[in-house]
Structure 1
Amino acid sequence: MAPPYADMIRYSANQWGDIAHPHDLSQMSLKNFVDGMMLAIANIHDATKVGGYYGILCGNQRKNGSYRNLSSLVERLAPGKLCEEIIKTQHHCVSDSRNYSNKRLIRISHEKLLLFKKTQHSSYFAVKQAEQKAIALLDATWLSTLRRMLQQTSKMDINSILLEFSSMIDASSFLNVNWEGRIEMLLKSDHFEFIPDLGVYSLRRY
């Protein structure tokens, strides 16, 4: 599969036809592009035999000063097991003929071929897969935040820690995650130690 790289090149009403097609990924907003892209990938996944492989060729985009890492988005959200990442040079790019004299950043000149192995019959399992990845990302982010907090304060009690976190997060958006319990679980990791006499946590000294 080689989808459009968002709206980098608009196809319907430009490369072909006179009217923009409503299902043309290149004519969509970034949000709708992501939604449409995930549906297309799910269709390809479900058409692949279990144990088989499917590939997605995807490039990235720099627009209005922002870098859109579309290939990493696909890598995170596509169902199945990522098996290979092949980086190739892009040829015949529209930007090749343009001069970016005011830009100090390196011109994007690569794209990725991502190869996934189908391990489940239906792409529906990707819902659970996405939730697991989201929780893993939350854990990693919260763990680093806890360590940074205790680097700055040296010692904190659990109530102060939870109060600090409550000012940073929206508890209503956390799927089925009990965030207070998750913080307490992370504090039991090897990075921290509890000082019973003071009732506080500190970073463990190795």
Structure 2
Amino acid sequence: MKSVVSYPDRGKWGKNSWRGNTSGYIIKDLIEHFKPSLFVDVCEGSGTSGDVCREMGVEYIGLDLYKGQDFTKDYILSFLPRPADICFSHPPYHSMIRYSGSVWGKCPVEGDTSHCKSVDEFLEKSQVMLLNQREATKDGGIYTTLIGDMRKNGSYRSFQADFIGMMPKNELLNVVIKVQHNMMSNKTHYSGKFIPIVHEYLLIWRKSAKSLFAIAWDTAKEIKRQVASTWRSAIRIALMKLGGQASLQEIYREVENIAQHLISKNRNWRAKIRQQLQYHFRNVQRGVWAM
């Protein structure tokens, strides 16, 4: 397996009629590279992973919402004889393809992340899925997900960046870019400067021995650092616009212009700016700061 993979033919595994079905070759590559004894797929779909595992002689367990297992509520490990060597998922890409009530079943089913009402809801449930996968994986084992980007109503969302950001950094092992073939959008001719999405990401983590509580705590600390970094960046941009040096009142006004998204979430935003100035900037004279 390399950092970029391309499978023009999706292979004989699973069913071509199942929308969004991935190529069995990526499952084959995962097995050949990591050599698992137990492979688990928590979004089995039409059964591609199971077909590959049976052909390669690997013990397999496939779970899916249409089979009655909901990764947003059910503890994956409770369905397994032992922790998995590889725990794989290929979840819906938010609302790009609706599954329950469309690909299968007669009506939408609770727990189907393709029916999330917002991106935030999708990400929250996706993090539950990833932490659930992690808990179902043995220490030193692999948990992995295949996810794409989404463009909708003129807005572009890179879910792989979100997924990486909400899981432990020290467990991320690889990011593999998978070229997409035979997509419905490939038959469309686009005009102007539109760039079609023709790739997905296979995100691969190796589970450490840390407890779920420790992971949650580390993630919370990381998010706190990211927010602090955002404030620091906003102040730096403000100072750049003000010539590299400015009074506190000028900095307040400029940050207020460029960082409304931060200010709206923090009623004590002036105190936050003063804190970041003291930590990361230079006080050249009373009430005047510089980069």
What TM-score bracket applies, with the shorter chain setting the length? 0.7 to 0.9
Matches within 5 A, 1:121-136: 121-136=210-225
For 2:138, what is the secondary structure of its paired residue? coil
Select 1:36's aligned residue among 121, 125, 148: 125
Pair 27,112 (structure 1): closer, same or farther in 2 beyond 3 Å: same
Matches within 5 A, 1:60-99: 60-79=149-168, 81-97=171-187, 99=188
2:272 corresponding residue in structure 1 = 179
Matches within 5 A, 1:1-206: 1-29=89-117, 30-79=119-168, 81-97=171-187, 99-154=188-243, 155-158=245-248, 161=251, 165=255, 168=260, 169=263, 170-172=265-267, 179-180=272-273, 182-186=275-279, 189=280, 192-196=281-285, 199-203=287-291
Bigger mean CA deviation after superposition, 45-54 or 104-113:
45-54
Pair 173,19 (structure 1): closer, same or farther in 2 beyond 3 Å: farther
d(CA) in 2 for partners of 1:171 and 1:130? 21
> Shift in Å at residue 37 of structure 1?
1.3
Structure 1 spans left out of the alignment, 5+ residues: none
User: Does the aligned pair in 2 maintain the 1:87–1:113 contact within 8 Å?
Assistant: yes
User: Does the aligned pair in 2 maintain the 1:6–1:33 contact within 8 Å?
Assistant: yes
User: Does the aligned pair in 2 maintain the 1:45–1:79 contact within 8 Å?
Assistant: no
For 1:171, what is the secondary structure of its paired residue? coil
Q: Using structure 1 for the length normalisation, give the TM-score.
A: 0.79
For 1:51, what is the secondary structure of its paired residue? strand
> Shift in Å at residue 55 of structure 1?
0.9
User: Does the aligned pair in 2 maintain the 1:51–1:119 contact within 8 Å?
Assistant: yes
User: Does the aligned pair in 2 maintain the 1:79–1:126 contact within 8 Å?
Assistant: yes
AA matched with 2:178: K
d(CA) in 2 for partners of 1:39 and 1:93? 29
Structure 2 spans left out of the alignment, 5+ residues: 1-88
> Shift in Å at residue 151 of structure 1?
2.6
For 1:49, what is the secondary structure of its paired residue? strand
> Shift in Å at residue 11 of structure 1?
1.5
> Shift in Å at residue 5 of structure 1?
1.2
AA matched with 2:266: A
Q: Using structure 2 for the length normalisation, give the TM-score.
A: 0.58
d(CA) in 1 for partners of 2:206 and 2:173? 7
d(CA) in 2 for partners of 1:172 and 1:200? 23
State, as a whole percentage, how many aligned pairs show the same letter: 28
Highest relative contact order (Cα 8 Å, sep 6+), 1 or 2? 1
Give the total of aligned pairs: 194
